[in-house]
């Protein structure tokens, strides 16, 4: 973890290596909640980061269909999980941030090991 109050001079302040993290590959935060994709555990870990230099694990979820979650992104109250080995994107409602609810899956039939996301802010 780094203090980036001066982005030109980031200062390392701490690190954490939760016992439940195994190949963390993606991060997404909303408010005081941090989601971490744990690739080799097939889970998404949930941390309270109210104190950013001392995260507290508050849970995890591993829908039976998570298979190597690789990247995460949040828009509004929706968390998208790139589900690498399942060749799809899992969709979760995070209105209650510590109890995500699986609301769907996206698979156009052409996804092959999805590993990233992009959000477009313009329709130009």
Asked if residue 43 is part of any domain, the answer here is yes
The confidence score (pLDDT) of residue 118 equals: 74
Give residue 37's domain range.
18-106
- Cα of first residue to Cα of last residue in the chain, in angstroms, is 36
Number of domains in the chain: 1
12 within domain boundaries: no
CA distance 65 to 83: 8
Identify whether 121 is part of a domain: no
- Whether residue 84 lies inside any domain: the answer is yes
**Residue that the structure tokens 């195994």 belong to:** 22
Give the CA count within 13 Å in the CB-facing half-sphere of 26: 25
Instruction: Choose between 100 and 116: higher pLDDT.
Output: 100
Q: What stretches of 1-124 show up as alpha helix (H) in DSSP?
A: none
pLDDT for 124: 63
Whole-number pLDDT of residue 52: 84
pLDDT tens column, 52-104: 888 999 999 886 789 999 999 999 999 999 999 888 999 999 999 999 999 99
Residue 123: pLDDT above 90?
A: no
Distance CA 78, CA 91 (A): 7
Six token digits for residue 65: 């269909």
> What is the CATH classification number for the domain harbouring 38?
2.40.10.500
pTM of the predicted structure, to 2 decimals: 0.86
Q: Is residue 63 a part of any domain in this protein?
A: yes
94 or 109: which leads in pLDDT = 94
Cβ atoms 71, 82 nearer than 8 A: yes
Taking only the tens place, the pLDDT of each residue in 8-54 is 999 988 887 766 778 888 999 999 999 999 988 999 999 999 998 88
- Whether 6 is in a domain gets the answer no
């Amino acid at each position: 973890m780094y203090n980036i109050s001066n982005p030109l001079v980031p200062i390392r302040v701490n690190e954490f290596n939760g016992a439940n993290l195994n190949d963390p590959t993606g991060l997404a935060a909303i408010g005081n909640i941090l989601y971490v994709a744990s690739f080799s555990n097939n889970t998404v870990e949930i941390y309270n980061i109210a104190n950013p230099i001392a995260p507290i694990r508050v849970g995890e979820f591993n829908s039976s269909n998570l298979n190597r979650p690789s990247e995460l992104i949040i828009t509004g109250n929706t968390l998208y999980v790139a589900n690498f080995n399942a060749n799809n994107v899992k969709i979760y409602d995070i209105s209650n941030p510590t109890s995500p609810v699986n609301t769907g899956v996206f698979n156009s039939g052409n996804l092959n090991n999805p590993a990233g996301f992009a959000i477009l802010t313009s329709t130009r």
